[in-house]
Amino acid sequence: MLIFFAVGALLPPILDVVVWWRLRHLFEGALSLNWRRQVAYFGLVANFLAYAIPWVTLIYNYILSNRGRPVGAEEFIDGLAATKFSLALAALSLVLGVMAPKQVRVQLILSAVCVAIFLVSIPMGVL
């Protein structure tokens, strides 16, 4: 379980940086379909949001619960809804990764799968 969490937590940001770098540098003079490049950028953004939303939820709920005043349950971000939304974004990133240019296709698909592994490995009570 810890291995899945570590892979899911560390690999997606690294792969996102690799995809961003390859999109920026490999296509400067190349004749590539512009819509595929835009699809890759949209997939990268969806993947980043799918990775960032659980962390933002966790940090916000932690700060809110440790402010020193009583907090009602309606003030917290719903972790289950955030996880479902992040999984939907990871699935969108996976679909967009399939349509991305071949130079970044594998990295984008692998990053979306790693985000999904990361989201599934988080216990429900944490978020």
CB atoms within 10 A of CB 120: 13
State pLDDT tens for residues 71-107: 787 788 888 899 999 999 999 999 999 999 888 999 9
Report pTM: 0.84
pLDDT band at 35 (very low <50, low <70, confident <90, very high): confident
CA distance 84 to 79: 9
Domain count, the chain: 1
Question: In this model, does residue 114 exceed pLDDT 60?
Answer: yes
* Residue 64 counted as domain residue: yes
* Residue 126 counted as domain residue: no
* Residue 115 counted as domain residue: yes
Q: Which amino acid is at 121?
A: S
Q: What value, to the nearest 5°, has the Cα angle with vertex 119 and ends 36 and 107?
A: 30
Helix 79-98 to helix 34-65 angle, to the nearest 10 degrees? 160
Q: Which amino acid is at 64?
A: L
Residue 35 vs residue 50, higher pLDDT:
50
CB atoms within 10 A of CB 62: 10
CA distance 95 to 103: 16
Range of the domain at 87: 2-121
* Residue 127 counted as domain residue: no
